[in-house]
Amino acid sequence: MSAESTCRRCDGPTAIKTRQANFCQPCFITFIQQKQRKAMEGCKVLFARPGCVLPPAINILVPISFGQSSLALLDMAHAQLEEQAKTYENAAGFTLNAVFIDCSEADPLEKEPNQIISELEKRFAHAKFTCIPLSKAFEGASSVTLKHNRDYTSFVSGISEEPTSVQQLLSCIGTKSAREDIISVLQRHLIIEEAKKQNESLPTTVAWGHNATRLAELTLSLTIKGRGNRIHAQVLEHKNPKDSISGLPEIHPLNDVLSYEIPFYNSFRNVSDLAVDTVSKPSQVTKNLSIDQLMHQYFENIQTNFPSIASTVVRTAAKLDDPNAAKQGLTPCLICASPVDPNQSLAWLTNITVNEPAAPETEEEEELSKKAHMEKSQEKTGDADRHLPVPNLCYGCIITIRDTDSFTFPKRASKQDILDEFTL
């Protein structure tokens, strides 16, 4: 057998070639798991004294989507627990909780979530599983209805103690990108809320299953959607809770693993059959793809021949500081809860936007100009709107709802709390 077809570590038969090196199955599994172990090096079995094992001092919460990447992270963390139990007579350095946000009401899966979780529980006996419906984000929440104008101004046209629903929320969102953006905001909110709940009993770290390619996709999609200020919070690791916007440690154990390597790992570990896709598939027509789908397609097409691109994007993102670190008087965005300076987003948007058209040169342009002026006059904010509360929105959320005339969103607060957050 030639050197070119043998594993670079043990000279066994090559199962995969990646990063300009050959690996057999066992060596590749070890190679990938070592990256996860390094990120979770604090999850070791602790001893009070020789022979006296302490209970787990940390809880690892892994958000799962039933996709390949989060499934791989779950398998790696579970394998670490199995090794600890075998080595230290059933001792464990951490507890493992997998949390799934059920978005099937908005984007159905090929299998029922309860059926999938039942299969995962059989495969990963040392992990606990929690399924949270997306609708939980609306429970006990007031509903705030926003009136949104084409000039990007928004006003609170109604506040109701009755909660809205997933379908009501999505029905008023016109574009696929905006739908995915709002759903991701709700998903992250529910995951962080569950992590904070678990943190009350045991210090909890959120271990996201994003691989390097996915983090690169997330970096560019956040930038395109006007949420560049979230890159520091969502792409970077925050092992110190003081550095995290959620107040909890957040890590990315797979941030040095490429997405095309994940299916090989899952296949070698015999867990590929546990991955489940959504019923809806991405369109074959580029113009019908969402921003997230476009970014995914872009990196999937280039990473095989240019694997360094994704890691370069992630390393560049890691150099970004928190844009709000030195700012005072910030209040949370009504929709995504990002810290934002009141009215700054709208002012900046107005300053960079050309608001007046060029002078008409032909009769046809003159007619179109008059028509546009009439429509703008009819839409222009009236005296009644001027007295309505102005919501505090970040630039990204203003862009997300720009094609929506009316938008109803859950707000976990009383009417007075909501009014106190608005600028009158």
Q: What is the pLDDT of residue 362?
A: 86
Give, as one character, the DSSP assignment of residue 61.
E
Nearest one of 13, 174, 208, 21 to 101, comparing CA atoms: 208
Domains and CATH numbers, the chain: 19-136+175-330 (3.40.50.620)
pLDDT at 382 over 70: no
Stronger pLDDT, 397 or 101, i.e. the higher one: 101
pLDDT of 420 > 60? The answer is no
Distance CA 346, CA 369 (A): 25
Q: What is the reported pLDDT for 375? A: 66
Question: In angstroms, how far is CA 246 from the centroid of its own chain?
Answer: 13
- Over the stretch 176-226, which tens digit does the pLDDT of each residue have? 899 999 999 999 999 999 999 999 999 999 999 999 999 999 999 999 998
**pLDDT of 391 above 80:** no
Residue 215 contacts residue 255 (beta carbons within 8 Å): yes
pLDDT of residue 424: 45
Q: Write down the pLDDT at residue 354.
A: 66
Q: Higher confidence at residue 121 or residue 342?
A: 121
Residue whose token pair is 């951490």 = 94
Task: Write out pLDDT tens, residues 50-68.
Answer: 767 788 889 999 999 999 9
Average pLDDT, the chain: 85
Per-residue pLDDT tens for 294-335? 999 999 988 878 888 999 999 999 998 888 777 777 888 888
